[in-house]
Amino acid sequence: MREIEGNFTQLLKLRASDESSVHLNTWLKRKSDKYTSHDIQNEMLGLMALNLLRNIADNVRTSKFTIMIDETTDVRTTEQVVIVLRWVGSDLDMCMKILLGCIPLIQ
């Protein structure tokens, strides 16, 4: 009987299908590891986030870009600064936008 895979395992397999994830494929081939530790999951998610940021930085370096910063207030009346990065591909065929973060303002 095949064990039902969790969301985290499915995410790892999806990211491992990328050609740049050779190390992730090696990890997934270990059948004895379950990746249930919070520390392991946080480390893996951190590595995937770092890889994503590197890909974005590579795209932005060769493109025209802008940084949008805006202030907003949430339902708890906490003021936050929203930072968005927007760039256009080198052929002007693609416009990408990514939310970099919502940072609470300190009173």
Query: Considering its fold, how many domains does the chain have in total?
Result: 2
What is the domain range of residue 56? 1-61
13, 35: one domain: yes
Q: What pLDDT digit, counting tens, does each position of 45-94 carry? A: 888 788 888 888 888 888 888 899 999 888 888 899 999 999 887 777 77
76, 51: one domain: no
SS (H, E, C) the chain: CCCCCCHHHHHHHHHHCCCCCHHHHHHHCCCCCCCCCHHHHHHHHHHHHHHHHHHHHHHHHCCEEEEEEEEEECCCCCEEEEEEEEEECCCCCCEEEEEEEEEECCC
41, 83: one domain: no
84, 34: one domain: no
Q: What pLDDT digit, counting tens, does each position of 5-55 carry? A: 777 777 777 777 766 666 666 666 666 666 667 887 788 788 878 888 888
2, 22: one domain: yes
8, 39: one domain: yes
